[in-house]
Amino acid sequence: MPFHSPVVVQTAKADFPKAELSLPHVSGGRSEAADMKINHIIHQTVQQQVHNQGPLDDPRAQMIGYFEQKTNEKDYLSLSLFNYAYTGGAHGLTLQKSLTFKQSTGQTYTLAQLFKPGSDYAGRISAIVSAQIKARKIDTLEPFKAIRPDQDYYVADRSLVIYFQLYELAAYVYGFLYFPISVYELQDIINEDGPLGPMLVND
C-alpha cells in the first residue's frame, strides 16, 4: 500500500455573540480541490449544528464548538465536530457529528458505504452493540433492538466506533455512548475500497 502523508489539520475560529466555535481547517493534501471540498463540508456541518441548537435568546445563553481528530492516515480523515449550547433550562445540550473523508478526493462515507453491498452490516453491528450493552450493564431508555442504518460513527485505532446521541439510547447522565468494534470482527463484510479496508492491513 502506498504511503499517504497525513493532511494538516489546524484550528480555525469563528466567533459571534454568545458563541465561540473552533473548527478544523484541512490543508496540505494531495489535491487542493479535495481540501476545499472537505473544508466546505465541515463548514456546512458546523452551520447545521448551530441551526439545530436553536436561538441564543436567553440572557445566559452560550455556545461552544470544538472538534476531535480520530484518524489521519492511509488517505483517510475521520473527525468529530461537537457543539455545546445552553439555551435555558436545567442544563445545556451537546451535539456530535462525525465525518469520514477520503483525503485525496474529499468523498464522505455513510455507514453503509463502509461495507460490501448487500451485506447485513446493521444486523452484525447491532448484535455486537447489544452484547456490549449487556456486558457494560447500560440502563437503556427502551430495550435496544438495532442501530439505525445511518448510525453515527467514526474510525479510530483500527476500530469502527458506533455512538449514540444524548438521550438516543440512555439517560442524559450517561453522556455519549460509544461502542468500539475492531475491524477484524467485521473483516468479511468490509468494503476494502472504503475507509476500513486499509485498517485491516498490518503495516
Task: Express each pLDDT in 179-189 by its tens digit.
Answer: 999 999 999 99
Name the residue among 131, 111, 130 with its Cα closest to residue 120: 111
pLDDT of residue 1: 56
Over 90: is that where the pLDDT of 91 sits? no
CB 90 within 8 A of CB 74: no
CA dist 121 to 18, 60, 98, 124, 179, Å?
42, 44, 19, 5, 15
pLDDT of residue 138: 96
**Please, what is the average pLDDT of the chain?**
95
pLDDT of residue 88: 84
* Structure-block grid coordinates of residue 62: 452560550
Q: What is the pLDDT of residues 138-164, one digit of tens each?
A: 999 999 999 999 999 999 989 999 999
Average pLDDT over residues 3-15: 92
Average pLDDT over residues 6-24: 96
Average pLDDT over residues 12-40: 96
Average pLDDT over residues 4-31: 95
- 2 pLDDT band, cuts 50/70/90, is low
- 27 pLDDT band, cuts 50/70/90, is very high
CA dist 84 to 19, 56, 69, 172, Å?
10, 12, 17, 14
Counting residues of the chain whose pLDDT is more than 90, the rounded percentage is 92
pLDDT of residue 202: 78
Q: How far apart (Å, rounded) are the C-alpha atoms in residues 145 and 162?
A: 15
Over 90: is that where the pLDDT of 90 sits? no
Q: Which domains does the chain have, with CATH numbers?
A: 1-108 (3.30.565.40), 111-203 (3.90.640.20)
pLDDT of residue 127: 98
Phi/psi at 35 (nearest 5 deg)?
-55, -45
Phi/psi at 112 (nearest 5 deg)?
-60, -35
